[in-house]
Amino acid sequence: MKRKSILYTEWVSTSRRARIHPRRKQDMRSMIMNEYPKRKHLRLIEYDYSQSNYYFVTICTYGKKHLFGIGDRLTAYGKTAEKCLAEIPRVFPDICIDKYAIMPNHIHMILVIKNSTDETARMYPRPTLGIAIGNFKSAVTREIHNTEPEIKVWQTGFYDHIIRDIPDYENIWTYIDENPIKWDSDEYY
């Protein structure tokens, strides 16, 4: 009978200890997953974001980097974002941009979804707020990546607020109007 070397026996004993049963691996994964806080839903769960309404939307750049410029001093990336904003109503005829402000590291907009009653429009699924914003972010990213492919443009997701009445609309309109003026005192300046 051949005698096994000490190194072989140590290797076998350590490799057997290192093996974990698949069921136990799953338990360990779930323990690890439960250690992290669960992400909060960004959208209302029961709300239909394709219905006619006014929405206040804010989209931030990745890492809050200053990519866009401000007001009449937009960078090339800011001009790209502005061009893509103007394209939203062409791509989605039921959606228009009522007001917007491009800031160095974020964009504010009031986006309006008006579902048409015309028969041909009903043949296609209605776009949701998420689809319209995703399409916009994707178009801007694609344009920017033509010149600088390694740059990360957007944070994941976006902030939205359903505008429920006229005073709410007026407050948001004023906020968007005054935001570029107050940029110098902004915490992310």
Buried/exposed code over 93-129 (b: 16+ C-beta within 10 A; e: otherwise)? ebbebbbbbbbbbbbbbbbbbeeeeeeeeeeeebbbb
In the chain, the number of structural domains is 2
Does residue 170 sit within a domain? Answer: yes
- Judgement on whether residues 168 and 77 belong to the same structural domain of the protein: yes
**Cα(26)–Cα(10) distance, integer angstroms:** 28
Rama region for 183: left / alpha / beta (φ>0; ψ in -120 to 50; rest) = alpha
Residue 107 and residue 25 share a domain: no
Same domain, 20 and 78: no
- Per residue of the chain (189 residues), give pLDDT as tens: 555 555 444 445 444 444 555 555 555 555 555 565 665 656 666 777 788 899 999 999 999 999 998 877 899 999 999 999 999 999 998 899 999 999 999 999 999 998 766 555 555 677 889 999 999 999 999 999 999 999 999 998 899 999 999 999 999 999 999 988 887 766 655
CA distance 13 to 26: 23
Could you tell me the residue range of the domain that residue 19 belongs to?
Answer: 6-35
From the list 113, 103, 108, 88, the residue with the least C-alpha distance to 160 is 108
One domain, residues 14 and 93? no
Q: Please indicate, yes or no, if residue 113 is contained in any of the structural domains.
A: yes
Q: DSSP H helical segments within the chain, as ranges?
A: 6-18, 22-35, 76-91, 119-122, 129-147, 166-178
